[in-house]
């Protein structure tokens, strides 16, 4: 039997959840015996090469590219897991949710105290750039998400326990110390 | 057990003082009934509904119900715990609870209850309501984004006999808690700390006090909320022996 395949991505996140994933330390050697990685920043595979079993999503959706990636993950992965507060509820990027998008862009590119070089007051308008969304969306409001692992970042033990439970079909161990929202 | 009346909580015989409310009686017997709005010794408000228990087949709030002789109470049952979890989830989506950036994280009772009930994600859609912040007073920072309307501050925090906090827009669509700017400005550092401690969430904060304890040493980092009450069981048992 071939090994289960894992794909991971970071949408509107800070890569903290991926760093926390690497915090499983030497257990990564054990993990690589159990699973195979496909599209993921961990092995630097940029595009899906086959259908995957588990997709780990870090970060919420703040622009059109995030939505596209998330939908692709939904198509390519049997099981999707929201990893961390940003994927679950938007996280810190969602602090902008109450502020109109125009105001946000003006603060960032025109009126902000650290804006100096933008003499012509240009807002990012290149057609190559993804469109920013009206607000930041939790992943499960865009596609169906199967499991959620809270934390900022989720503790390495929690990620490890979840992966082992998913790969071996066992029950998820949720120790109190590993279950945090921050 | 002279002068005490017998009540039964989850099949366990307990003794309570006449006139005591169910939540306090349970605590005295080493049984934890989860709650967000209740403060011991303060007139109960029954505003959070988390302390829902079942008495004679009816759901009642344990903080507003006085004990009666022979009263049978169901508390730690799956149905009630599911209801409590749902209430906590509603509170999470109806405010702006950004735990990672909140100064109260780790010491927050709402968060601790979510940990206790293992809330992975709220089942309801996030509202991201627009709410204000009042940082005008010297020692207090009032962030309505995190308010859960428990009325603890309204019931307890006073300055010169006047309430500092009050409900506003009652009956309107946007009921919220407001802080009296003038009274808040007169508050001392100690009073500000008291207000911060009474708030179950991070809605009232004392300025320059955020992130005081490091991760791992905060109130609910290692033990779930209610552990102190439940530990009392062993304590009481030892007493009996």
Per-residue pLDDT of A123-151, as tens digits, reads 999 999 999 999 999 999 999 999 999 99
A68: tokens are: 């596209």
**Quick one: CA dihedral A94, A100, A106, A112, positive or negative?**
negative
Q: How many structural domains compose chain B?
A: 2
**Per-residue confidence (pLDDT) for residue B233, from 0 to 100:** 62
Assess if residue A118 is contained within a domain.
no
Please tell me whether residues B139 and B161 are part of one structural domain: yes
Decide: B75 and B33 in contact? Cβ < 8 Å. yes
Please tell me whether residues B72 and B111 are part of one structural domain: no
Please tell me whether residues B137 and B119 are part of one structural domain: yes
Asked if A117 is an interface residue toward chain B (Cβ–Cβ < 8 A), one would say no
How many whole angstroms separate alpha carbon B135 and alpha carbon B121? 31
Across the interface, whether the CB atoms of B128 and A97 are under 8 A apart is answered: yes
**Per-residue confidence (pLDDT) for residue A118, from 0 to 100:** 85
Mean pLDDT of B220-235: 84
Please tell me whether residues B72 and B88 are part of one structural domain: no
Across the interface, whether the CB atoms of B101 and A97 are under 8 A apart is answered: no
At residue B21 the predicted structure's pLDDT band, cuts being 50, 70 and 90, is very high
Residues 70-89 of A with CB under 8 A from B: 82, 85, 88-89
Assess if residue B225 is contained within a domain.
no
Per-residue pLDDT of B168-185, as tens digits, reads 888 877 888 999 999 999
Decide: A110 and B103 in contact? Cβ < 8 Å. no
**Per-residue confidence (pLDDT) for residue A1, from 0 to 100:** 66
- The CATH code of the domain that includes A69 is 3.40.50.700
Please tell me whether residues B69 and B137 are part of one structural domain: no
Mean pLDDT over the full length of chain B: 92
Among B57, B76, B95, residue at a domain's last position: B76
Per-residue pLDDT of B191-224, as tens digits, reads 999 999 999 999 999 998 888 899 999 999 999 9
Residue in this structure with the two tokens 């702006």, named with its chain if needed:
B96
Mean pLDDT of B39-50: 93
**Per-residue confidence (pLDDT) for residue B225, from 0 to 100:** 95
Asked if A146 is an interface residue toward chain B (Cβ–Cβ < 8 A), one would say no
Q: How many structural domains compose chain A?
A: 1
Please tell me whether residues B190 and B104 are part of one structural domain: yes
Interface predicted TM-score of the whole assembly (ipTM), two decimals: 0.92
Per-residue pLDDT of A61-87, as tens digits, reads 999 999 999 999 999 999 999 999 999
- How many C-beta atoms surround the C-beta of residue B100 within 10 A? 18
Please tell me whether residues B114 and B57 are part of one structural domain: no
Asked if A180 is an interface residue toward chain B (Cβ–Cβ < 8 A), one would say yes
Task: Provide the residue range defining the domain that includes A159.
Answer: 5-96+134-178
Asked if A177 is an interface residue toward chain B (Cβ–Cβ < 8 A), one would say yes
Please tell me whether residues B48 and B150 are part of one structural domain: no
**Per-residue confidence (pLDDT) for residue A115, from 0 to 100:** 87
**Per-residue confidence (pLDDT) for residue B237, from 0 to 100:** 56
Assess if residue A75 is contained within a domain.
yes
**Quick one: CA dihedral A22, A27, A29, A32, positive or negative?**
negative
Please tell me whether residues B71 and B93 are part of one structural domain: no
pLDDT of B241 above 70: no
Assess if residue A165 is contained within a domain.
yes
Task: Report angle CA B65, B95, B36 to the nearest 5 degrees.
Answer: 25
**Per-residue confidence (pLDDT) for residue B175, from 0 to 100:** 86
Please tell me whether residues B29 and B130 are part of one structural domain: no
**Per-residue confidence (pLDDT) for residue B80, from 0 to 100:** 97
**Per-residue confidence (pLDDT) for residue B72, from 0 to 100:** 96
Distance from CA of B2 to the nearest CA of A (A): 40
Assess if residue B149 is contained within a domain.
yes
Task: Provide the residue range defining the domain that includes B197.
Answer: 84-206
Per-residue pLDDT of B90-133, as tens digits, reads 999 999 999 999 999 999 999 999 999 999 999 999 999 989 89
Query: Out of A92, A97, A140, whose CB is closest to B121?
Result: A140
Decide: B68 and A144 in contact? Cβ < 8 Å. no
Please tell me whether residues B119 and B153 are part of one structural domain: yes
A172's CB contacts (< 8 A; 6+ apart) are A161, A162, A165
Assess if residue B193 is contained within a domain.
yes
Task: For chain A, give the percent of residues with pLDDT over 70.
Answer: 99
Distance from CA of A34 to the nearest CA of B (A): 26
Across the interface, whether the CB atoms of B115 and A176 are under 8 A apart is answered: yes
């Amino acid at each position: 039997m071939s090994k289960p395949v894992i794909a991971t991505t970071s949408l509107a996140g800070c890569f903290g959840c991926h760093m926390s994933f690497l915090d499983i330390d030497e257990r990564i050697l054990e993990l690589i015996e159990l699973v195979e990685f496909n599209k993921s920043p961990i092995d630097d595979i940029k595009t899906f090469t086959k259908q995957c079993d588990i997709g780990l999503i870090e970060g919420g959706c703040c622009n059109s590219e995030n939505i596209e990636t998330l939908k692709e993950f939904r198509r390519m992965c049997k099981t999707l897991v929201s990893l961390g507060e940003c994927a679950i509820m938007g996280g810190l990027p969602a602090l902008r949710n109450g502020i109109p998008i125009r105001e946000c862009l003006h603060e960032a590119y025109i009126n902000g105290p650290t804006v100096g070089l933008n003499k012509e007051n240009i807002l990012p308008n290149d057609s190559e750039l993804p469109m920013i969304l009206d607000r930041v969306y939790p992943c499960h409001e865009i596609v169906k998400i199967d499991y959620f692992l809270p934390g900022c970042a989720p503790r390495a033990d929690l990620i490890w326990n979840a992966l082992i439970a998913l790969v071996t079909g066992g029950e998820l161990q949720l120790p109190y110390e590993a279950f945090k929202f921050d | 057990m002279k002068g005490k009346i017998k009540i039964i909580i989850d099949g366990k015989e307990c003794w309570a003082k006449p006139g005591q409310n169910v939540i306090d009686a349970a605590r005295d017997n080493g049984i934890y009934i989860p709650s967000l709005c209740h403060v011991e010794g303060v007139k109960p408000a029954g505003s959070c509904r988390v302390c829902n228990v079942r008495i004679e087949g009816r759901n009642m709030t344990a903080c507003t119900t006085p004990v009666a002789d022979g009263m049978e109470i169901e508390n730690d049952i799956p149905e009630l715990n599911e209801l409590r979890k749902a209430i906590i989830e509603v509170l999470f989506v109806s405010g702006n609870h950004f735990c990672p950036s909140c100064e109260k994280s780790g010491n927050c009772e709402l968060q601790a209850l979510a940990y206790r009930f293992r809330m992975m994600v709220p089942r309801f859609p996030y509202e991201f309501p627009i709410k204000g912040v009042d940082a005008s007073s010297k020692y207090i920072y009032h962030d309505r984004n995190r308010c859960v309307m428990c009325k603890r501050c309204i019931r307890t925090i006073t300055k010169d006999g006047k309430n500092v906090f009050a409900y506003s827009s009652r009956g309107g669509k946007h009921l919220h808690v407001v802080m009296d700017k003038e009274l808040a400005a007169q508050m001392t550092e100690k009073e500000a700390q008291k207000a911060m401690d009474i708030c179950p969430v991070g809605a009232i904060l004392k300025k320059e006090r955020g992130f005081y304890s490091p991760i791992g040493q905060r109130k609910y980092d290692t033990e779930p909320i209610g552990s102190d009450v439940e530990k009392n069981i062993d304590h009481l048992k030892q007493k009996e022996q």
